[in-house]
Structure 1
Amino acid sequence: MDIFLEPFFQRAIIGGILIGLAAPLMGTFLVLRRLSMIGDTLAHVSIAGIALGFLINVYPLAIGLLFALLASFAIELLRKTYKTYAELSIAIIMSGGIALATLLFTLGRDFSTNVNSYFFGSIYTLDNTDIAVVGVVCALVIAVIAAHFKEFFLIFFDEEAAGVSGLPVRAYNIVITMLTALVICVAIKIVGALLVSSLLTIPVACSLVVGRSFRHSVVMAIVFSETAVILGLVSAGVWDLAPGATVVLALITMLIVILTVKFSLRRSG
Protein backbone atom coordinates (compact mmCIF):
# COMPACT_ATOMS: atom_id res chain seq x y z
CA MET A 1 0.00 0.00 0.00
CA ASP A 2 3.04 2.27 -0.04
CA ILE A 3 2.06 3.33 -3.55
CA PHE A 4 -0.67 5.57 -2.10
CA LEU A 5 2.03 7.66 -0.46
CA GLU A 6 3.96 8.17 -3.68
CA PRO A 7 3.64 11.69 -5.19
CA PHE A 8 3.18 10.31 -8.73
CA PHE A 9 0.18 8.22 -7.61
CA GLN A 10 -1.33 11.14 -5.72
CA ARG A 11 -1.03 13.29 -8.85
CA ALA A 12 -2.66 10.48 -10.83
CA ILE A 13 -5.61 10.41 -8.42
CA ILE A 14 -6.02 14.19 -8.60
CA GLY A 15 -5.82 14.23 -12.39
CA GLY A 16 -8.23 11.30 -12.66
CA ILE A 17 -10.80 12.89 -10.34
CA LEU A 18 -10.66 16.19 -12.24
CA ILE A 19 -11.15 14.62 -15.66
CA GLY A 20 -13.74 12.26 -14.19
CA LEU A 21 -15.78 15.35 -13.37
CA ALA A 22 -15.36 17.25 -16.64
CA ALA A 23 -15.70 14.37 -19.13
CA PRO A 24 -19.25 13.19 -18.26
CA LEU A 25 -20.43 16.80 -18.08
CA MET A 26 -19.46 17.24 -21.70
CA GLY A 27 -20.48 13.71 -22.63
CA THR A 28 -24.08 14.28 -21.60
CA PHE A 29 -24.50 17.10 -24.08
CA LEU A 30 -22.64 15.20 -26.81
CA VAL A 31 -25.03 12.27 -26.45
CA LEU A 32 -27.93 14.68 -26.83
CA ARG A 33 -26.34 15.99 -30.04
CA ARG A 34 -25.87 12.45 -31.41
CA LEU A 35 -22.12 13.14 -31.47
CA SER A 36 -20.90 10.38 -29.18
CA MET A 37 -18.03 9.52 -31.53
CA ILE A 38 -16.57 13.02 -31.53
CA GLY A 39 -14.27 11.91 -28.71
CA ASP A 40 -12.38 9.49 -30.92
CA THR A 41 -12.15 12.07 -33.69
CA LEU A 42 -10.69 14.88 -31.59
CA ALA A 43 -8.43 12.41 -29.79
CA HIS A 44 -6.81 11.30 -33.06
CA VAL A 45 -6.39 14.91 -34.17
CA SER A 46 -4.82 15.73 -30.80
CA ILE A 47 -2.34 12.88 -31.27
CA ALA A 48 -1.25 14.54 -34.51
CA GLY A 49 -0.68 17.77 -32.61
CA ILE A 50 1.19 15.99 -29.85
CA ALA A 51 3.43 14.33 -32.45
CA LEU A 52 4.15 17.76 -33.95
CA GLY A 53 4.96 19.07 -30.47
CA PHE A 54 7.60 16.38 -30.02
CA LEU A 55 8.91 17.09 -33.51
CA ILE A 56 9.40 20.84 -32.94
CA ASN A 57 10.29 20.44 -29.24
CA VAL A 58 7.30 22.38 -27.88
CA TYR A 59 5.09 21.26 -24.94
CA PRO A 60 3.19 18.45 -26.75
CA LEU A 61 -0.10 18.83 -24.89
CA ALA A 62 -0.29 22.51 -25.87
CA ILE A 63 0.08 21.71 -29.58
CA GLY A 64 -2.40 18.84 -29.23
CA LEU A 65 -4.83 21.26 -27.61
CA LEU A 66 -4.43 23.71 -30.49
CA PHE A 67 -5.06 20.96 -33.03
CA ALA A 68 -8.15 19.79 -31.14
CA LEU A 69 -9.56 23.32 -31.07
CA LEU A 70 -8.97 23.78 -34.80
CA ALA A 71 -10.61 20.42 -35.44
CA SER A 72 -13.62 21.44 -33.34
CA PHE A 73 -14.12 24.50 -35.53
CA ALA A 74 -13.80 22.35 -38.65
CA ILE A 75 -16.37 19.86 -37.35
CA GLU A 76 -18.85 22.63 -36.62
CA LEU A 77 -18.32 24.12 -40.08
CA LEU A 78 -18.81 20.76 -41.77
CA ARG A 79 -21.91 20.07 -39.67
CA LYS A 80 -23.48 23.20 -41.14
CA THR A 81 -22.35 22.27 -44.65
CA TYR A 82 -23.72 18.73 -44.45
CA LYS A 83 -26.82 19.34 -42.34
CA THR A 84 -28.52 16.10 -43.36
CA TYR A 85 -25.35 14.06 -42.88
CA ALA A 86 -23.89 15.68 -39.75
CA GLU A 87 -21.94 12.53 -38.82
CA LEU A 88 -19.95 12.93 -42.05
CA SER A 89 -18.03 15.79 -40.43
CA ILE A 90 -16.70 13.41 -37.78
CA ALA A 91 -15.56 10.86 -40.36
CA ILE A 92 -13.76 13.51 -42.43
CA ILE A 93 -11.88 15.07 -39.51
CA MET A 94 -10.97 11.68 -38.03
CA SER A 95 -9.52 10.54 -41.35
CA GLY A 96 -7.47 13.71 -41.64
CA GLY A 97 -6.24 13.42 -38.05
CA ILE A 98 -5.10 9.82 -38.48
CA ALA A 99 -3.39 10.62 -41.77
CA LEU A 100 -1.55 13.63 -40.33
CA ALA A 101 -0.48 11.71 -37.22
CA THR A 102 0.87 8.88 -39.38
CA LEU A 103 2.82 11.34 -41.51
CA LEU A 104 4.36 13.02 -38.46
CA PHE A 105 5.33 9.61 -37.05
CA THR A 106 7.37 8.95 -40.18
CA LEU A 107 9.11 12.34 -39.83
CA GLY A 108 10.10 11.72 -36.22
CA ARG A 109 10.61 8.05 -35.59
CA ASP A 110 12.85 8.80 -32.61
CA PHE A 111 9.90 10.10 -30.56
CA SER A 112 7.43 7.35 -31.50
CA THR A 113 7.74 5.73 -28.06
CA ASN A 114 6.82 9.00 -26.34
CA VAL A 115 3.81 9.54 -28.59
CA ASN A 116 2.64 5.96 -28.12
CA SER A 117 2.20 6.66 -24.40
CA TYR A 118 -0.56 9.09 -25.38
CA PHE A 119 -2.37 6.34 -27.26
CA PHE A 120 -2.70 4.18 -24.16
CA GLY A 121 -2.47 6.81 -21.44
CA SER A 122 0.33 7.63 -19.02
CA ILE A 123 -1.42 8.95 -15.94
CA TYR A 124 1.52 8.01 -13.70
CA THR A 125 3.71 10.52 -15.58
CA LEU A 126 1.50 13.52 -14.84
CA ASP A 127 3.56 16.42 -13.53
CA ASN A 128 2.49 19.64 -11.82
CA THR A 129 2.08 21.40 -15.16
CA ASP A 130 -0.26 18.68 -16.41
CA ILE A 131 -2.31 18.86 -13.20
CA ALA A 132 -2.57 22.64 -13.55
CA VAL A 133 -3.75 22.34 -17.17
CA VAL A 134 -6.34 19.71 -16.27
CA GLY A 135 -7.51 21.82 -13.33
CA VAL A 136 -7.95 24.94 -15.46
CA VAL A 137 -9.90 23.01 -18.12
CA CYS A 138 -12.09 21.38 -15.48
CA ALA A 139 -12.84 24.73 -13.82
CA LEU A 140 -13.65 26.30 -17.19
CA VAL A 141 -16.04 23.48 -18.12
CA ILE A 142 -17.86 23.68 -14.78
CA ALA A 143 -18.14 27.47 -14.95
CA VAL A 144 -19.52 27.54 -18.51
CA ILE A 145 -21.95 24.65 -17.99
CA ALA A 146 -23.22 26.11 -14.71
CA ALA A 147 -23.75 29.54 -16.25
CA HIS A 148 -25.53 28.30 -19.39
CA PHE A 149 -27.03 24.96 -18.34
CA LYS A 150 -30.61 25.76 -19.43
CA GLU A 151 -29.48 27.22 -22.76
CA PHE A 152 -27.31 24.20 -23.59
CA PHE A 153 -30.13 21.83 -22.67
CA LEU A 154 -32.62 23.66 -24.90
CA ILE A 155 -30.21 23.87 -27.84
CA PHE A 156 -29.21 20.22 -27.79
CA PHE A 157 -32.70 18.94 -27.04
CA ASP A 158 -34.33 20.96 -29.84
CA GLU A 159 -31.93 23.14 -31.82
CA GLU A 160 -34.60 24.58 -34.11
CA ALA A 161 -36.81 25.65 -31.22
CA ALA A 162 -33.81 27.25 -29.53
CA GLY A 163 -33.04 29.23 -32.68
CA VAL A 164 -36.65 30.41 -32.98
CA SER A 165 -36.59 31.56 -29.35
CA GLY A 166 -33.63 33.83 -30.16
CA LEU A 167 -30.73 31.91 -28.65
CA PRO A 168 -27.39 32.25 -30.50
CA VAL A 169 -27.33 28.58 -31.47
CA ARG A 170 -24.17 28.75 -33.56
CA ALA A 171 -22.19 30.44 -30.79
CA TYR A 172 -23.31 27.89 -28.21
CA ASN A 173 -22.49 25.02 -30.57
CA ILE A 174 -18.98 26.39 -31.05
CA VAL A 175 -18.49 26.83 -27.30
CA ILE A 176 -19.57 23.28 -26.46
CA THR A 177 -17.40 21.83 -29.23
CA MET A 178 -14.39 23.83 -28.03
CA LEU A 179 -14.93 22.69 -24.45
CA THR A 180 -15.13 19.11 -25.68
CA ALA A 181 -11.83 19.56 -27.49
CA LEU A 182 -10.21 20.87 -24.30
CA VAL A 183 -11.49 17.97 -22.19
CA ILE A 184 -10.46 15.34 -24.72
CA CYS A 185 -6.98 16.75 -25.13
CA VAL A 186 -6.19 16.79 -21.41
CA ALA A 187 -7.84 13.38 -20.92
CA ILE A 188 -5.57 11.75 -23.49
CA LYS A 189 -2.62 11.59 -21.11
CA ILE A 190 -4.85 10.04 -18.45
CA VAL A 191 -6.65 7.23 -20.30
CA GLY A 192 -5.12 7.46 -23.77
CA ALA A 193 -6.50 8.41 -27.17
CA LEU A 194 -7.83 4.91 -27.78
CA LEU A 195 -9.99 4.99 -24.63
CA VAL A 196 -10.80 8.68 -24.15
CA SER A 197 -14.31 8.52 -25.63
CA SER A 198 -15.27 5.96 -22.98
CA LEU A 199 -15.08 8.63 -20.27
CA LEU A 200 -17.41 10.80 -22.33
CA THR A 201 -20.02 8.18 -23.15
CA ILE A 202 -20.11 5.18 -20.79
CA PRO A 203 -20.91 7.17 -17.60
CA VAL A 204 -23.71 8.84 -19.56
CA ALA A 205 -24.95 5.44 -20.75
CA CYS A 206 -25.10 4.32 -17.11
CA SER A 207 -26.87 7.47 -15.97
CA LEU A 208 -29.52 7.31 -18.68
CA VAL A 209 -30.65 3.97 -17.27
CA VAL A 210 -31.13 5.23 -13.70
CA GLY A 211 -31.67 8.97 -14.19
CA ARG A 212 -35.09 10.36 -13.27
CA SER A 213 -34.54 13.65 -15.09
CA PHE A 214 -31.91 15.32 -17.23
CA ARG A 215 -30.30 17.09 -14.28
CA HIS A 216 -30.33 13.87 -12.26
CA SER A 217 -28.75 12.02 -15.19
CA VAL A 218 -25.92 14.57 -15.31
CA VAL A 219 -25.23 14.12 -11.60
CA MET A 220 -25.35 10.33 -11.85
CA ALA A 221 -22.99 10.37 -14.84
CA ILE A 222 -20.44 12.22 -12.71
CA VAL A 223 -20.95 9.77 -9.83
CA PHE A 224 -20.39 6.76 -12.10
CA SER A 225 -17.36 8.39 -13.69
CA GLU A 226 -15.67 9.29 -10.40
CA THR A 227 -16.41 5.86 -8.94
CA ALA A 228 -14.82 4.14 -11.93
CA VAL A 229 -11.78 6.45 -11.86
CA ILE A 230 -11.09 5.79 -8.19
CA LEU A 231 -11.75 2.04 -8.39
CA GLY A 232 -9.73 1.73 -11.58
CA LEU A 233 -6.72 3.65 -10.32
CA VAL A 234 -6.67 1.89 -6.95
CA SER A 235 -6.91 -1.50 -8.67
CA ALA A 236 -4.14 -0.56 -11.07
CA GLY A 237 -1.94 0.66 -8.23
CA VAL A 238 -2.43 -2.41 -6.05
CA TRP A 239 -2.12 -5.07 -8.76
CA ASP A 240 0.22 -3.22 -11.14
CA LEU A 241 -2.26 -3.01 -14.03
CA ALA A 242 -2.74 -0.51 -16.85
CA PRO A 243 -4.63 2.38 -15.18
CA GLY A 244 -6.50 3.62 -18.26
CA ALA A 245 -7.76 0.13 -19.04
CA THR A 246 -8.89 -0.55 -15.45
CA VAL A 247 -10.89 2.69 -15.38
CA VAL A 248 -12.70 1.83 -18.61
CA LEU A 249 -13.32 -1.78 -17.57
CA ALA A 250 -14.75 -0.51 -14.27
CA LEU A 251 -17.17 1.66 -16.25
CA ILE A 252 -18.19 -1.22 -18.50
CA THR A 253 -18.69 -3.49 -15.47
CA MET A 254 -20.97 -0.92 -13.86
CA LEU A 255 -22.97 -0.58 -17.07
CA ILE A 256 -23.40 -4.37 -17.34
CA VAL A 257 -24.52 -4.58 -13.70
CA ILE A 258 -26.99 -1.71 -14.10
CA LEU A 259 -28.50 -3.16 -17.28
CA THR A 260 -28.69 -6.63 -15.72
CA VAL A 261 -30.48 -5.32 -12.63
CA LYS A 262 -32.90 -3.28 -14.71
CA PHE A 263 -33.66 -6.26 -16.94
CA SER A 264 -34.19 -8.50 -13.91
CA LEU A 265 -36.51 -5.98 -12.26
CA ARG A 266 -38.48 -5.59 -15.48
CA ARG A 267 -38.93 -9.35 -15.81
CA SER A 268 -39.91 -9.80 -12.17
CA GLY A 269 -42.34 -6.87 -12.38
Structure 2
Amino acid sequence: MFLTPLVVDFVAEMLGYPFMQRAFVAGVCVAVIAPLVGSFLVHRQLAMIGDTLAHTAFAGVAVGLFLSATLGSPVSPALTALVVAVLAALLIQVLSEYTDVYNDVSMAIVLAGGFALGTVLISATSGGIAVSISQYLFGSLSTLTRGDVELLVGVSVLVVGTVLLLYRKLVFVTFDEAAAQIGGIDVRGVKRVLVVLTALVVVGAMQMMGVILVAAMLVVPVAAATQLARSFKESVLLAVVAAQVAVLAGTTLSYAYGLAAGGTIVLVAIAVYAAAASAKLVGAR
Protein backbone atom coordinates (compact mmCIF):
# COMPACT_ATOMS: atom_id res chain seq x y z
CA MET A 1 0.00 0.00 0.00
CA PHE A 2 2.82 2.41 0.84
CA LEU A 3 4.77 1.58 -2.31
CA THR A 4 1.93 2.25 -4.74
CA PRO A 5 1.93 6.09 -4.49
CA LEU A 6 5.74 6.07 -4.74
CA VAL A 7 5.61 3.94 -7.88
CA VAL A 8 2.93 6.14 -9.42
CA ASP A 9 4.94 9.27 -8.63
CA PHE A 10 8.10 7.72 -10.05
CA VAL A 11 6.37 6.69 -13.30
CA ALA A 12 4.71 10.11 -13.61
CA GLU A 13 8.05 11.84 -13.09
CA MET A 14 9.86 9.58 -15.57
CA LEU A 15 7.24 9.96 -18.29
CA GLY A 16 7.11 13.70 -17.69
CA TYR A 17 10.39 14.05 -19.56
CA PRO A 18 10.01 14.19 -23.36
CA PHE A 19 13.27 12.27 -23.88
CA MET A 20 11.92 9.38 -21.80
CA GLN A 21 8.68 9.39 -23.76
CA ARG A 22 10.74 9.10 -26.94
CA ALA A 23 12.88 6.38 -25.37
CA PHE A 24 9.88 4.20 -24.50
CA VAL A 25 8.31 4.61 -27.96
CA ALA A 26 11.63 3.71 -29.57
CA GLY A 27 12.12 0.80 -27.18
CA VAL A 28 8.71 -0.69 -27.89
CA CYS A 29 9.43 -0.50 -31.63
CA VAL A 30 12.82 -2.19 -31.24
CA ALA A 31 11.25 -4.89 -29.06
CA VAL A 32 8.83 -5.74 -31.87
CA ILE A 33 11.02 -5.72 -34.96
CA ALA A 34 14.26 -7.15 -33.51
CA PRO A 35 12.85 -10.50 -32.28
CA LEU A 36 10.47 -10.65 -35.24
CA VAL A 37 13.36 -10.67 -37.72
CA GLY A 38 15.71 -12.40 -35.29
CA SER A 39 13.41 -15.42 -35.09
CA PHE A 40 14.12 -16.24 -38.74
CA LEU A 41 17.85 -15.54 -38.36
CA VAL A 42 18.26 -17.79 -35.31
CA HIS A 43 16.45 -20.70 -36.95
CA ARG A 44 18.56 -20.24 -40.09
CA GLN A 45 21.70 -20.28 -37.89
CA LEU A 46 22.53 -16.71 -38.93
CA ALA A 47 22.56 -15.21 -35.45
CA MET A 48 25.89 -13.45 -36.04
CA ILE A 49 24.68 -11.48 -39.04
CA GLY A 50 23.26 -8.86 -36.67
CA ASP A 51 26.70 -8.29 -35.18
CA THR A 52 28.20 -8.05 -38.66
CA LEU A 53 25.69 -5.47 -39.84
CA ALA A 54 26.07 -3.53 -36.59
CA HIS A 55 29.77 -3.12 -37.32
CA THR A 56 29.08 -2.06 -40.89
CA ALA A 57 26.46 0.39 -39.60
CA PHE A 58 29.27 1.82 -37.47
CA ALA A 59 31.19 2.37 -40.72
CA GLY A 60 28.10 4.02 -42.19
CA VAL A 61 27.88 6.40 -39.26
CA ALA A 62 31.57 7.22 -39.70
CA VAL A 63 30.93 7.92 -43.40
CA GLY A 64 28.16 10.37 -42.54
CA LEU A 65 30.19 12.18 -39.90
CA PHE A 66 33.25 12.21 -42.17
CA LEU A 67 31.27 13.75 -45.04
CA SER A 68 29.78 16.34 -42.68
CA ALA A 69 33.25 17.27 -41.43
CA THR A 70 34.87 17.45 -44.86
CA LEU A 71 32.03 18.99 -46.87
CA GLY A 72 31.02 21.48 -44.21
CA SER A 73 27.32 20.62 -44.60
CA PRO A 74 25.34 18.20 -42.44
CA VAL A 75 24.91 14.64 -43.69
CA SER A 76 22.62 12.34 -41.70
CA PRO A 77 24.69 9.56 -40.07
CA ALA A 78 21.52 7.48 -39.77
CA LEU A 79 20.93 7.70 -43.52
CA THR A 80 24.52 6.78 -44.45
CA ALA A 81 24.44 3.96 -41.88
CA LEU A 82 21.26 2.63 -43.48
CA VAL A 83 22.74 2.74 -46.99
CA VAL A 84 26.01 1.07 -45.92
CA ALA A 85 24.24 -1.60 -43.82
CA VAL A 86 21.83 -2.52 -46.63
CA LEU A 87 24.69 -2.75 -49.14
CA ALA A 88 26.67 -4.88 -46.67
CA ALA A 89 23.67 -7.18 -46.13
CA LEU A 90 23.31 -7.71 -49.87
CA LEU A 91 27.08 -8.22 -50.22
CA ILE A 92 26.99 -10.99 -47.61
CA GLN A 93 24.20 -12.72 -49.50
CA VAL A 94 25.90 -12.33 -52.89
CA LEU A 95 29.19 -13.69 -51.53
CA SER A 96 27.34 -16.73 -50.21
CA GLU A 97 25.47 -17.29 -53.48
CA TYR A 98 28.16 -16.75 -56.09
CA THR A 99 31.42 -17.77 -54.40
CA ASP A 100 32.67 -20.74 -52.44
CA VAL A 101 32.65 -18.64 -49.27
CA TYR A 102 30.33 -19.94 -46.56
CA ASN A 103 27.98 -17.61 -44.67
CA ASP A 104 30.14 -17.30 -41.57
CA VAL A 105 33.23 -16.47 -43.67
CA SER A 106 31.39 -13.88 -45.75
CA MET A 107 30.06 -12.28 -42.56
CA ALA A 108 33.54 -12.20 -41.05
CA ILE A 109 34.93 -10.51 -44.16
CA VAL A 110 32.21 -7.85 -44.22
CA LEU A 111 32.45 -7.30 -40.44
CA ALA A 112 36.20 -6.78 -40.58
CA GLY A 113 35.94 -4.53 -43.61
CA GLY A 114 33.19 -2.39 -42.10
CA PHE A 115 34.96 -1.88 -38.81
CA ALA A 116 38.25 -1.17 -40.60
CA LEU A 117 36.58 1.47 -42.78
CA GLY A 118 35.09 3.15 -39.72
CA THR A 119 38.41 3.33 -37.88
CA VAL A 120 40.21 4.66 -41.00
CA LEU A 121 37.66 7.46 -41.41
CA ILE A 122 37.99 8.39 -37.73
CA SER A 123 41.77 8.57 -38.04
CA ALA A 124 41.49 10.55 -41.30
CA THR A 125 39.91 13.40 -39.33
CA SER A 126 42.55 13.13 -36.58
CA GLY A 127 39.90 11.70 -34.26
CA GLY A 128 37.68 14.74 -34.72
CA ILE A 129 34.52 12.66 -35.20
CA ALA A 130 35.33 10.18 -32.40
CA VAL A 131 33.25 12.06 -29.83
CA SER A 132 30.23 12.26 -32.12
CA ILE A 133 30.42 8.58 -33.01
CA SER A 134 30.54 7.37 -29.40
CA GLN A 135 26.78 7.84 -28.96
CA TYR A 136 26.21 5.44 -31.86
CA LEU A 137 28.65 2.91 -30.43
CA PHE A 138 27.06 2.76 -26.98
CA GLY A 139 23.59 4.23 -27.49
CA SER A 140 21.90 7.01 -25.58
CA LEU A 141 18.41 7.81 -24.37
CA SER A 142 18.99 11.53 -24.05
CA THR A 143 20.16 12.03 -27.64
CA LEU A 144 17.09 10.43 -29.24
CA THR A 145 15.33 13.12 -31.26
CA ARG A 146 11.77 13.18 -32.50
CA GLY A 147 13.15 12.58 -36.00
CA ASP A 148 15.01 9.47 -34.80
CA VAL A 149 11.81 8.07 -33.27
CA GLU A 150 9.75 8.90 -36.35
CA LEU A 151 12.33 7.12 -38.52
CA LEU A 152 12.22 4.09 -36.24
CA VAL A 153 8.42 4.01 -36.30
CA GLY A 154 8.53 4.13 -40.10
CA VAL A 155 11.12 1.35 -40.22
CA SER A 156 8.99 -0.71 -37.83
CA VAL A 157 5.91 -0.38 -40.02
CA LEU A 158 7.95 -1.38 -43.08
CA VAL A 159 9.55 -4.38 -41.35
CA VAL A 160 6.33 -5.70 -39.79
CA GLY A 161 4.41 -5.19 -43.03
CA THR A 162 7.04 -7.02 -45.07
CA VAL A 163 7.20 -9.95 -42.64
CA LEU A 164 3.41 -10.29 -42.63
CA LEU A 165 3.32 -10.15 -46.42
CA LEU A 166 6.08 -12.75 -46.88
CA TYR A 167 5.53 -14.75 -43.69
CA ARG A 168 4.75 -18.11 -45.31
CA LYS A 169 7.63 -17.81 -47.76
CA LEU A 170 10.03 -16.80 -44.99
CA VAL A 171 8.98 -19.77 -42.87
CA PHE A 172 9.23 -22.16 -45.82
CA VAL A 173 12.73 -20.96 -46.76
CA THR A 174 13.82 -20.97 -43.12
CA PHE A 175 12.89 -24.59 -42.42
CA ASP A 176 13.10 -26.32 -45.81
CA GLU A 177 15.02 -24.34 -48.42
CA ALA A 178 15.18 -27.21 -50.91
CA ALA A 179 11.42 -27.81 -50.79
CA ALA A 180 10.81 -24.08 -51.12
CA GLN A 181 12.96 -24.05 -54.27
CA ILE A 182 11.03 -26.98 -55.71
CA GLY A 183 7.77 -25.25 -54.79
CA GLY A 184 8.63 -22.30 -57.01
CA ILE A 185 9.59 -19.82 -54.29
CA ASP A 186 12.30 -17.33 -55.19
CA VAL A 187 14.63 -18.49 -52.42
CA ARG A 188 17.41 -16.04 -53.27
CA GLY A 189 14.97 -13.15 -53.29
CA VAL A 190 13.46 -14.13 -49.94
CA LYS A 191 16.91 -14.51 -48.36
CA ARG A 192 17.94 -11.08 -49.65
CA VAL A 193 14.79 -9.52 -48.24
CA LEU A 194 15.58 -11.08 -44.86
CA VAL A 195 19.11 -9.66 -44.71
CA VAL A 196 17.87 -6.22 -45.80
CA LEU A 197 15.23 -6.33 -43.04
CA THR A 198 18.02 -7.19 -40.60
CA ALA A 199 19.97 -4.13 -41.76
CA LEU A 200 16.89 -1.96 -41.24
CA VAL A 201 16.43 -3.29 -37.70
CA VAL A 202 20.08 -2.75 -36.81
CA VAL A 203 20.17 0.83 -38.05
CA GLY A 204 16.79 1.64 -36.54
CA ALA A 205 17.83 0.38 -33.10
CA MET A 206 21.43 1.59 -32.97
CA GLN A 207 20.69 5.12 -31.75
CA MET A 208 19.13 3.69 -28.59
CA MET A 209 21.07 0.44 -28.15
CA GLY A 210 24.39 1.31 -29.76
CA VAL A 211 25.98 -0.77 -32.51
CA ILE A 212 27.88 -2.84 -29.95
CA LEU A 213 24.74 -4.21 -28.30
CA VAL A 214 22.02 -3.96 -30.94
CA ALA A 215 22.71 -7.48 -32.27
CA ALA A 216 21.79 -8.92 -28.87
CA MET A 217 18.15 -7.91 -29.29
CA LEU A 218 17.98 -9.97 -32.48
CA VAL A 219 19.10 -13.10 -30.63
CA VAL A 220 18.62 -13.12 -26.85
CA PRO A 221 14.79 -12.72 -26.71
CA VAL A 222 14.47 -15.38 -29.41
CA ALA A 223 16.72 -17.73 -27.43
CA ALA A 224 14.52 -17.16 -24.38
CA ALA A 225 11.35 -17.87 -26.34
CA THR A 226 12.64 -21.11 -27.83
CA GLN A 227 13.03 -22.51 -24.31
CA LEU A 228 9.27 -22.48 -23.80
CA ALA A 229 7.58 -22.32 -27.22
CA ARG A 230 5.90 -25.32 -28.82
CA SER A 231 5.74 -23.91 -32.35
CA PHE A 232 7.53 -21.33 -34.46
CA LYS A 233 4.64 -18.88 -34.37
CA GLU A 234 4.44 -19.18 -30.60
CA SER A 235 8.20 -18.68 -30.43
CA VAL A 236 7.92 -15.41 -32.36
CA LEU A 237 5.17 -14.12 -30.07
CA LEU A 238 7.05 -15.09 -26.90
CA ALA A 239 10.23 -13.51 -28.27
CA VAL A 240 8.41 -10.21 -28.74
CA VAL A 241 7.03 -10.44 -25.20
CA ALA A 242 10.50 -11.19 -23.80
CA ALA A 243 11.95 -8.24 -25.72
CA GLN A 244 9.21 -5.92 -24.44
CA VAL A 245 9.95 -6.95 -20.85
CA ALA A 246 13.66 -6.36 -21.39
CA VAL A 247 13.20 -2.95 -23.01
CA LEU A 248 10.61 -1.60 -20.58
CA ALA A 249 12.41 -2.87 -17.46
CA GLY A 250 15.86 -1.97 -18.81
CA THR A 251 14.86 1.56 -19.80
CA THR A 252 13.25 2.13 -16.40
CA LEU A 253 16.31 0.86 -14.54
CA SER A 254 18.54 2.96 -16.76
CA TYR A 255 16.61 6.09 -15.83
CA ALA A 256 16.34 5.22 -12.14
CA TYR A 257 20.01 4.49 -11.58
CA GLY A 258 21.73 6.48 -14.31
CA LEU A 259 22.91 3.36 -16.15
CA ALA A 260 23.74 2.86 -19.83
CA ALA A 261 20.44 2.07 -21.54
CA GLY A 262 21.67 -0.44 -24.10
CA GLY A 263 23.70 -2.48 -21.64
CA THR A 264 20.92 -2.50 -19.06
CA ILE A 265 18.35 -3.69 -21.59
CA VAL A 266 20.61 -6.50 -22.78
CA LEU A 267 21.35 -7.63 -19.21
CA VAL A 268 17.63 -7.77 -18.45
CA ALA A 269 17.11 -9.76 -21.67
CA ILE A 270 19.77 -12.23 -20.55
CA ALA A 271 18.06 -12.50 -17.17
CA VAL A 272 14.79 -13.28 -18.97
CA TYR A 273 16.61 -15.96 -20.97
CA ALA A 274 18.08 -17.44 -17.75
CA ALA A 275 14.61 -17.51 -16.19
CA ALA A 276 13.12 -19.23 -19.25
CA ALA A 277 15.93 -21.80 -19.36
CA SER A 278 15.49 -22.49 -15.65
CA ALA A 279 11.74 -22.91 -16.08
CA LYS A 280 12.37 -25.41 -18.88
CA LEU A 281 14.76 -27.41 -16.70
CA VAL A 282 12.33 -27.46 -13.80
CA GLY A 283 9.49 -28.50 -16.11
CA ALA A 284 11.58 -31.33 -17.56
CA ARG A 285 12.07 -32.95 -14.15
Does the alignment pair 1:148 with 2:166? Answer: yes
The TM-score with structure 1 as length reference comes to 0.96
1:2-81 matches, cutoff 5 A: 2-57=13-68, 58-81=75-98
The match for 2:6 is none
Could you tell me how far apart the structure 2 residues matched to 1:250 and 1:104 are? 34
Q: How big is the alpha-carbon RMSD for the aligned residues of Structure 1 and Structure 2? A: 1.1
CA deviation after TM superposition for structure 1 residue 83, in Å: 5.7
Contact 1:73–1:174 at 8 Å: present in 2 too? yes
Name the residue aligned to 1:103: 120
Q: Secondary structure at the match of 2:128?
A: helix
Once residues 129 and 113 of structure 1 are traced to their aligned partners in structure 2, the CA distance between those partners, rounded to angstroms, is 21
Are 2:279 and 1:261 aligned? yes
On the 8 A contact 1:82/1:89 being kept in 2, the answer is no
CA distance in 1, matches of 2:166, 2:100: 25
CA separation in 2, counterparts of 1:145 and 1:8?
30
Report the CA distance between 1:179 and its aligned residue. 0.8
Give runs of aligned pairs for residues 108-257 of structure 1, distance below 5 A. 108=125, 109-257=127-275
Q: CA deviation at 1:165?
A: 0.5
CA contact 2:66–2:122 (8 Å) conserved in 1: no
Shift of 1:79: 1.1
Could you tell me which runs of 5 or more consecutive residues in structure 1 were left unpaired when the two chains were aligned: none
- Give the whole-Å Cα distance in 2 for the aligned partners of 1:21 and 1:194: 19
| Separation of aligned partners in 2, 1:31 and 1:158 | 14
Partner of 1:196, secondary structure, is: coil
SS of residue in 1 equivalent to 2:194:
helix
Counterpart CA distance in 1 for 2:226 and 2:151 is 30
Q: Contact (CA 8 Å) 1:211, 1:217: kept in 2 or not?
A: yes
The alpha-carbon deviation at position 50 of structure 1 amounts to 0.5
> In percent, how many aligned pairs have the same letter?
36
Instruction: Give distance in 2, aligned partners of 1:86 and 1:240.
Output: 39
Q: 1:83 to 1:150 in 2, by over 3 A?
A: farther
> SS at 2:281's partner residue?
helix
**Distance in structure 1 (CA, Å) of the matches to 2:212 and 2:128:** 22
Equivalent pairs counted in the alignment come to 267
Q: Which has the larger radius of gyration?
A: 2
**Runs of 4+ residues over 6 Å off in structure 1:** none
1:154 Cα deviation (Å)?
Answer: 0.2
Query: For the residues of structure 2 that align with 1:15 and 1:156, how far apart are their CA atoms?
Result: 28
Whether the 8 Å CA contact 1:11–1:124 is kept in 2: the answer is no
Q: Deviations over 1:21-56 (max 9, x none)?
A: 000000001112211001111011111110111111
Which structure 2 segments of 5+ residues have no match?
A: 1-9, 69-74
| Deviation at residue 177 of structure 1 after TM alignment | 0.8
